[in-house]
Structure 1
């Protein structure tokens, strides 16, 4: 009790001291010494020289050319002229004056100079003013393009079977089945059309965090928190290769679309490139300073893109095994990266914003704001629908090109589970782009599809271009 009283008295004294100081300076404001006019004038002229020095020099040169060719001394060079300006104290300074286009010093060009070649004077040729004279062009303010209409998505199936959080999902290239990995250490393969369980694969001794199905081989690749990366032969349903090298949990993996290369990343702050057949660790991509949460591959440069909890995204040169660029725009951990299937672009998800980037140099395109949660996953289909899934179970659907958020949904949790188990950990579109499969914390897999009965009249675009301004930073 005594300590609280002492703290309160100290706070009161500090506040009173600040107020007394403020009042003292306020009362002496009128008795401060007057400003030195010469010092103020010198400061203004140095500021003007710093800001407008190059323009003043250009105009001075143009005036010299004008004098030599017999033009009026205050030739403006198309638009600008130097004028001598006197202030109230008699100090003379040079200023830039805006002159009307097509005149010289406010006068028409004299007839005697009609045949003089005015080389070096912009906007004038031998016969008089030309079409390239500078003029003030009124520009229209940039407008937001109208977003493409997309039908809303609705939940059509909930699949139960895992007894732990479902952490990853991958779709078969033939679009007949998909597989999921869970915290129950089991990989399950499901029929995409009916949702029935086809197969369970056991072998991991900890949570399965990443799955990939090869489009060119009968192989399924899996990785988990047991630091193991496995290659399963789906003709025999057993492990045929192990890739040893990660020092901690493996969180994500990607297959290169054209060469037999596998890329994995995880909590040891590295991404590793493996030869699929020889199991050799070709490259260890180092540079991130925290967990590497997501990796994607593409055939063109940059061939590998990683995102990390150190708030950066790195673009990698696969041949050299080194970083090409580091994108530092995000302010918080970047847990997901997704490539657009058609456009040469990718998106990244972080709690601060979803950002869009253009390859190959990683040029920032725009922010998609509004999904204020910890984002775990992203998915993009060929119809320019992008979906972001969050730790609180919310799904946001976006028009990829304009960044318009056309739908927000919150899937109900499985009966008997807690509301806190509403997280979406992974998602993937099937190869037709018409089904969205999500892996969730309530131990279920949910499948969404477009609402066939919706149209532009029943679900109009709530498009307000005055309010939805594209923020660039």
Structure 2
């Protein structure tokens, strides 16, 4: 009988001892099928491989370590450093690290003329430019010098720009005459009159100065959803839920052309500013490009999967922009009749678009959010949030005032550059209409940017003007950049 004692199996995770692993054995005898033991052996080899060189590592530079910790502490606790007197911080840093920059063992790692060099603390009034330390004994308050010659420069944190002051807007006039929801508005290029279209199937022409009704045009057999006035011809173009696109001669006040091709209601219309073409779109999810004179359809821009609610035209590329209920915005190549860019940032239906009259940018409105974009590639600029309703209409003037109107009657006035919401108005439903009929369906500025015209669900047209009596003292900018942190989407 063999008297050799049997070795108990080793349990994974338990440290090997001399009782279970004699020193003469280089490895533990394990069963080849034991996966846990193999893993343990691999970990032990890795551990021994890296622990064996620890005694040969160079000693820790305590001054460099302390300096690194101070830099990390300043980076972590910068928001509360203003609670501590700056003189105490500077005194502590200069006292603790006054010898950084002097290396008694290696002169090649130091900067020239470092015999009087001391660590200079950070300064909150840093201009944002890296200042090289080229002078001996320089006292630059934006630079820290390490013993290796590395210069650490404080970066000024990015701050939100202060918005421009805009006077508040107030209601100046209410025009009544329609017996249905006012769905669209357009101002004549001469800024003398404007037209409105309604669900009562009538197009009305109003005098802009006096607000008097000048003319009523009948011809649509369903609600009028889009209007546009040509700047080169005496033509007014209209479209509606009856699938019709009409051209009105304003000298004879009658329809002279029809553009046939839409398969469902037409919700929006736009005229090209330099070419005699018009673009219409609606429930058939197709934007159609028409030759104004021959009535021929040039292109059918298909690609959206739901109703197109807004279309814009401009003279530079992309010349056609469409916003749809499928939550996307498409920028079109009008020559090739193909999509140039598709913007998918919105989560809800895109119901309104507007182009800035001076800048090469545009804005879009959806539920609770407005977004600004840059041409020609549709680069996202910023998100404006605050509406807790569906944004049906947008308007912007040359002074940088962006206005959004929602289906609950709220109007928000924004500073275009910063996205600051400087005024909020709530439109009241007119007597004779139900309380819920206070939605805003259309809005536009006149060409002087001094009057804002809105078409609403209470069947009225409201004209707003700037408050001439307001100034920066009576209506200050409530600007709190530490609180107003905009989310970017």
TM-score surpassing 0.5? yes
Secondary structure in 2 matching 1:109: helix
Q: 1:267 aligns with which of 258, 283, 287?
A: 283
Change (3 A) 1:43 1:88: closer
Secondary structure in 2 matching 1:413: coil
Structure 2 CA distance, aligned partners of 1:38 and 1:433? 79
Q: 1:317 aligns with which of 313, 329, 333?
A: 333
Partner of 1:225: 241
- Tell me the CA shift for residue 41 of structure 1: 9.6
Contact 2:181 2:199 in 1 (8 A): yes
Structure 2 CA distance, aligned partners of 1:339 and 1:247? 28
Gaps of 5+ in 1: 1-31, 45-84, 112-132
- Tell me the CA shift for residue 136 of structure 1: 3.7
Change (3 A) 1:179 1:140: same
Partner of 1:401: 417
Between Structure 1 and Structure 2, whose CA radius of gyration is higher? 2
2:158 equivalent to 1:159: no
Q: 2:200 aligns with which of 153, 177, 184?
A: 184
Partner of 1:208: 224
Change (3 A) 1:86 1:397: same
- Tell me the CA shift for residue 416 of structure 1: 1.6
Partner of 2:163: 147
Contact 1:103 1:109 in 2 (8 A): no
2:273 equivalent to 1:257: yes
- Tell me the CA shift for residue 210 of structure 1: 0.2
Normalising by structure 2, we get a TM-score of 0.73
Contact 2:321 2:331 in 1 (8 A): yes
2:300 equivalent to 1:301: no
Gaps of 5+ in 2: 1-11, 15-35, 68-99, 111-148
- Tell me the CA shift for residue 137 of structure 1: 3.2
Partner of 1:67: none
Secondary structure in 1 matching 2:403: strand
Normalising by structure 1, we get a TM-score of 0.75
Structure 2 CA distance, aligned partners of 1:43 and 1:204? 84
- Say how many residue pairs are matched: 381
Partner of 1:420: 436
Deviations 1:96-121 (A, max 9, x none): x99999999x943289xxxxxxxxxx
CA RMSD of aligned residues (A): 3.2
Secondary structure in 1 matching 2:332: strand
4+ runs deviating over 6 angstroms = 32-44, 88-93, 97-104
Q: 2:352 aligns with which of 315, 336, 342?
A: 336
Deviations 1:210-257 (A, max 9, x none): 000001100000000000000000000000000001111111111000
- Tell me the CA shift for residue 319 of structure 1: 1.3
Structure 2 CA distance, aligned partners of 1:42 and 1:225? 79
2:259 equivalent to 1:243: yes
Contact 1:253 1:295 in 2 (8 A): yes
Partner of 2:130: none
Change (3 A) 1:238 1:465: same
